[in-house]
């Protein structure tokens, strides 16, 4: 926005000419003369001659980066399109192109003004010389009269341009024609001598002026060529700076991506280290629980051993009871049945206790294997945690280096942007100087022609004054 406002205020050629900005899709971003165009797309707009100048301009700028184009466009405050030629240049970092132009009739008007000034100068010189001749002629006519016969011969010589023969008065009366003619002759002789001297000086000065004008014209031509060459060199420099600026922008983007990826990698590794620590804690807790389970299984083994002993004793008691019931005969038959059932229950209990004992033994073996596996896993988990911490430190260093590279890349990008802006400003000034030099060259050419004409007039005046003898 600052760039737009700055260009909006910039005017030249007495405020008549201005700047405008478009993007590469044809949307007008700023127009100092017609702000109502801003924000609209003119890619398909055509001038009265059917020329889609915005589209053609965009194509040329995308290809060459800068271009001239002629088209029809109305002046400020007018709706009638007039011929115009403009120049535009792309500013790649923002995707803009900035243009400005002049109307053909304004250029022709400046040329006509230069011609008119030269003609006015020549007319003034001619009027001065004509006025001088007219004053002399009028002075001679006003003095004619009185004593015509006496004055005729001398006036004839006088009319022949001979101012060396003095006019003698035959009358003592003051103010007579011959006396007046004599006075006039003397004064005219002085005037002619003065004019002759002045024309000699004028001829010499006009010759010197003509030579100087030619030298100035030649120097102005060389200066115009030098300015054009300088403008071309600065334009090439601007293109190079713009390329460096684009490379710096790409480097800045890559550095930013590297820093971002390093940061993400560091976060992932930190998370992995945290998970490894959690796994280590879980392994430690599992080891403790398995060791506790080993103790519990040993307690279960002791309990099953007690149950087995109780079952054996119960079986023995049931056997003794069955023997006593058999001795009792028919009376102890019911007790024998109960004793037999108790014996069977004791046998099943002993069998189940044996199975439980086997299962507990297997569980104890598996638990010992699990404890050993957990014990062997713990050093590896610790080693993985240490490697994760080292990887985190390395990624932190990579991220720091990437951030430093990003900072330097941004500094380079900003510096190249400033250099590109300065080079563009210098190029605009050099183009202005080249234009002014061309105008000066044209003006010095006109002055040289005027000096040559002045020299011709001075020579003609000298030839005319040669008519008089003094």
What percentage of residues in the chain have a pLDDT greater than 70? 79
Paired strand residues for 99: 20, 88
Domain ranges of the chain: 2-106, 249-425
pLDDT in tens, 408-456: 767 867 877 787 787 678 678 767 867 776 776 676 677 667 777 877 8
pLDDT in tens, 212-249: 667 756 766 776 676 677 667 767 767 776 776 777 67
The pLDDT mean for the chain works out to 78
The pTM for the full model equals 0.31
What is the full DSSP assignment across 76-137?
TT--SEEEEEEEEEEEGGGTEEEEEEEEHHHHHHHHHHHHHHHHHHHHHHHHHHHHHHHHHH
- Determine the pLDDT at residue 187: 73
Give the integer Cα–Cα distance in Å for 195 and 199.
6
Tokens of 374: 């957990």
Above 90 in pLDDT, residue 303? no
What CATH number should be reported for the domain whose range is 249-425? 1.10.287.950
- Determine the pLDDT at residue 142: 46
- Determine the pLDDT at residue 206: 64
Above 80 in pLDDT, residue 282? no
- Determine the pLDDT at residue 49: 93
- Determine the pLDDT at residue 44: 93
Above 60 in pLDDT, residue 141? no
Give the integer Cα–Cα distance in Å for 304 and 312.
12
pLDDT in tens, 37-54: 999 999 999 999 999 999
**CB-CB contact of 213 with 444 (8 Å):** yes
- CA 407 → CA 182, 254, 256, 264, 310, distances in Å? 99, 12, 9, 19, 84
DSSP three-state, residue 278? helix
Paired strand residues for 27: 41
Above 90 in pLDDT, residue 85? yes
Q: What is the mean pLDDT of residues 98-104?
A: 92
**CB-CB contact of 187 with 173 (8 Å):** no
- Determine the pLDDT at residue 151: 65
DSSP character at residue 165: S
Count of CB atoms within 10 A of residue 371's CB? 17
Largest CA distance in the chain: 218
Phi, psi of 255 (to 5 degrees): -65, -40
Above 60 in pLDDT, residue 204? yes
- Determine the pLDDT at residue 140: 40
Q: Which of 102-116, 204-218, 273-287 has the highest mean pLDDT?
A: 102-116
Above 50 in pLDDT, residue 10? yes
Chosen CATH of 2-106 out of 3.30.450.20, 1.10.10.10, 3.40.50.11540, 3.40.309.10: 3.30.450.20
- Which pLDDT band, with edges at 50, 70 and 90, does 464 fall under? confident
Please state which of the ranges 205-209, 303-307, 384-388 shows the lowest mean pLDDT. 205-209
Count of CB atoms within 10 A of residue 248's CB? 20
410: burial class by Cβ within 10 Å (0-12, 13-18, 19+)? middle
Tokens of 462: 């000298």
Paired strand residues for 356: none
- Edge-to-edge strand list for the sheet holding 81-91: 28-31, 19-23, 96-103, 81-91, 66-74
Higher pLDDT: 26 or 345? It is: 26
């Amino acid at each position: 926005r600052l760039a737009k406002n700055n260009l909006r205020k910039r005017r030249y050629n007495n405020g008549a000419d201005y700047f405008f900005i478009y993007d590469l899709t044809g949307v007008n971003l700023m127009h100092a003369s017609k702000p109502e165009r801003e924000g609209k797309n003119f890619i398909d707009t055509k001038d009265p001659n059917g020329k889609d100048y915005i589209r053609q301009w965009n194509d040329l700028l995308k290809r060459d980066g800068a271009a001239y184009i002629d088209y029809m466009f109305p002046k400020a405050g007018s709706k009638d399109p007039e011929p115009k030629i403009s120049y535009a240049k792309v500013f790649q970092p923002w995707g803009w192109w900035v243009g400005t132009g002049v109307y053909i009739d304004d250029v022709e008007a400046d040329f006509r003004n230069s011609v008119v000034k030269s003609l006015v100068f020549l007319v003034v010189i001619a009027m001065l010389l004509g006025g001088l001749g007219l004053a002399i002629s009028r002075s001679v006519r006003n003095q004619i009269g009185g004593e015509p016969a006496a004055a005729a011969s001398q006036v004839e010589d006088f009319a022949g341009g001979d101012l060396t023969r003095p006019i003698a008065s035959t009358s003592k009366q003051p103010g007579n024609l011959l006396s007046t003619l004599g006075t006039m002759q003397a004064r005219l002789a002085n005037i002619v001598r003065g004019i002759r001297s002045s024309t000699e000086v004028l001829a010499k000065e006009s010759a010197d002026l003509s030579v100087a004008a030619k030298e100035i014209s030649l120097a102005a031509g060389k200066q115009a060529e030098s300015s054009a060459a300088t403008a071309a060199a600065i334009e090439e420099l601007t293109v190079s700076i713009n390329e460096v600026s684009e490379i710096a922008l790409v480097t800045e983007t890559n550095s930013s991506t590297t820093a971002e990826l390093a940061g993400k990698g560091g976060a992932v590794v930190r998370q992995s280290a945290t998970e490894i620590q959690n796994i280590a804690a879980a392994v430690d807790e599992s080891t403790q629980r398995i060791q506790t389970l080993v103790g519990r299984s040993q307690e279960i083994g002791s309990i099953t051993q007690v149950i087995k002993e109780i079952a054996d004793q119960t079986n023995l008691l049931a056997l003794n009871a069955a023997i006593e019931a058999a001795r009792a005969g028919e009376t102890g038959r019911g007790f024998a049945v109960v004793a037999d059932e108790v014996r069977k229950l004791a046998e099943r209990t002993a069998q189940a206790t044996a199975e439980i004992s086997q299962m507990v033994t297997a569980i104890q073996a598996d638990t010992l294997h699990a404890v050993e596996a957990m014990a062997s896993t713990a050093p590896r988990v610790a080693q993985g945690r240490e490697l994760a911490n080292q990887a985190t430190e390395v990624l932190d260093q990579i991220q720091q280096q990437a951030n430093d590279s990003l900072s330097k890349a941004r500094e380079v990008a900003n510096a190249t942007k400033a250099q590109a802006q300065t080079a563009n400003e210098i190029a605009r000034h050099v183009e202005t100087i080249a234009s002014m030099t061309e105008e000066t060259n044209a003006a010095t050419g006109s002055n040289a022609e005027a000096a040559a004409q002045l020299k011709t007039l001075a020579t003609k005046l000298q030839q005319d004054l040669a008519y008089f003898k003094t």
